[in-house]
Amino acid sequence: MNLNRLILLFAALGCFTNCRAQETGKQLLTLQKEIALPNVKGRIDHIDINLKDQIAYIAALGNNTLEVVDLKNGKVTGSITGLDEPQGVAYIPKHQELLIANGGTGECGFYNALTLKKTGSIKLADDADDVRYDAGEDKIYVGYGSGGIAIIDAASHKQVGDIILPAHPESFQLETKTNKLWVNLPGSGMIGMADLKQLKLTAKWSKLLPRANFPMAYDEAQHRIIVGYRVPAKLIVYDSETGKEIFSGPMVGDVDDLYWDAKSKQVYLSGGGGAVDIFKQVSDSDYKQVGHIKTRNGARTSLLVPELSLLLIAARESGDQKAALLIYKTGTL
């Protein structure tokens, strides 16, 4: 059985288990409102935010659009059309621009965030995917192709570096003060650590199981990498320096995004199994599941906004339910 079939099997089993699981910790995540995405069909991918104006940007991959959502007014205020499987999006506040990574063509397009007009473009290999913006260095990192992370200067719109990888990168995290980058490489069954000065991998941590490590978060204070696996559905916390496993526990199936909130010491995981799981760090090496809140089946893409105490979840159209951005208020124990 190949990896894709194995992922589907474990995702289905995870959904079956979690859909029947009793809700817990509902006080930790309260639905405030649903903002309709009336013209959006198909799969939805990554989300970013203009924090100052509370504008969310949603990569509607299956719809080939980027949706602009005003959180305060609760409505879609714009849309960028003609994209090709948009996956990653980053809002660049210094330049009031957006970068959209297109999975279909590999194009990374720059757009004015106010007018939504195109201002520049860089062509990478196919499958341009996850995006990170480093405000201190004014650089954008984009995972792409069969194994690479491009480094782009946000001011000049030019590629200034490239990290070659053994497989397509999924989620990755930066710590620029130590010049390190950690990246999930599910196609190779590993997590990689790269040196940002040398622009190459300097460490690799491999596992036979679990597999399909897609989302990742970084706990900078404790030097920990937090990874979500799909096969089987499991949360694992690693020492980011050594790769040593610190904690492991089951979680919601088909996870696509996870976040570490340093203030509450809570991990948020959104899964296509139809729920958000919340784990709280209760000791140096233990994380206790304190919440299992049902959302929608297939609603696996999210964005934690700790400054606003919000978790945004993108719910694709399913059956008689239209696509929507679900706005949750976060809490703590």
Residue 2 scores a pLDDT above 70: no
Indicate the residue among 172, 206, 240 that finishes a domain.
206
DSSP assignment letter at 126: S
Q: Are residues 184 and 158 in the same domain?
A: yes
pLDDT at 16: 46
Q: Are residues 179 and 217 in the same domain?
A: no
pLDDT > 90: percent of the chain = 91
pLDDT at 1: 42
What is the tens place of the pLDDT at every residue in 277-295?
999 999 999 999 999 999 9
At residue 104 the predicted structure's pLDDT band, cuts being 50, 70 and 90, is: very high
Handedness of CA 111, 44, 213, 208 (dihedral sign): negative
Structure tokens at 48: 């970013």
Any idea what the CATH number is for the domain that residue 76 is in?
2.130.10.10
User: Which are the contacts of 18, defined by CB distance < 8 A and separation ≥ 6?
Assistant: 252, 253, 271, 273, 274, 275, 292
pLDDT > 70: percent of the chain = 94
Say whether 135 sits in a helix, a strand or coil. Answer: coil
Q: Are residues 167 and 201 in the same domain?
A: yes
**Phi, psi at residue 94, to the nearest 5°?**
-60, -35
Q: Are residues 19 and 66 in the same domain?
A: no
> Which helix (H) or strand (E) is 82 found in, with range?
none
At residue 333 the predicted structure's pLDDT band, cuts being 50, 70 and 90, is: confident
Q: Are residues 3 and 130 in the same domain?
A: no
C-alpha span between 88 and 83 (Å, rounded): 12
Give the domain range for residue 192.
Answer: 54-206
What is the tens place of the pLDDT at every residue in 170-199?
999 999 899 999 999 999 999 999 999 999
The domain total for the chain is: 2
Query: ω before 86 within 30° of 0 (cis)?
Result: no
Nearest to 328 by CA among 282, 285, 293: 293
115 class by beta-carbon count within 10 Å (0-12 exposed, 13-18 middle, 19+ buried): exposed
Please report where in the chains the tokens 């004015």 appear, as a residue.
112
pLDDT at 96: 98
At residue 62 the predicted structure's pLDDT band, cuts being 50, 70 and 90, is: very high
Residue 9 scores a pLDDT above 90: no
Q: Are residues 191 and 215 in the same domain?
A: no
Mean pLDDT of 1-15: 50
What is the tens place of the pLDDT at every residue in 242-263?
999 999 999 999 999 999 999 9
Indicate the residue among 191, 206, 221 that finishes a domain.
206
Mean pLDDT of 60-69: 98
Q: Are residues 202 and 215 in the same domain?
A: no
Mean pLDDT of 100-108: 98
pTM for this model (two decimals) = 0.93
Residue 42 lies in a domain: no
Indicate the residue among 206, 226, 257 that finishes a domain.
206
What is the tens place of the pLDDT at every residue in 15-46?
544 545 799 999 999 999 999 999 999 999 99
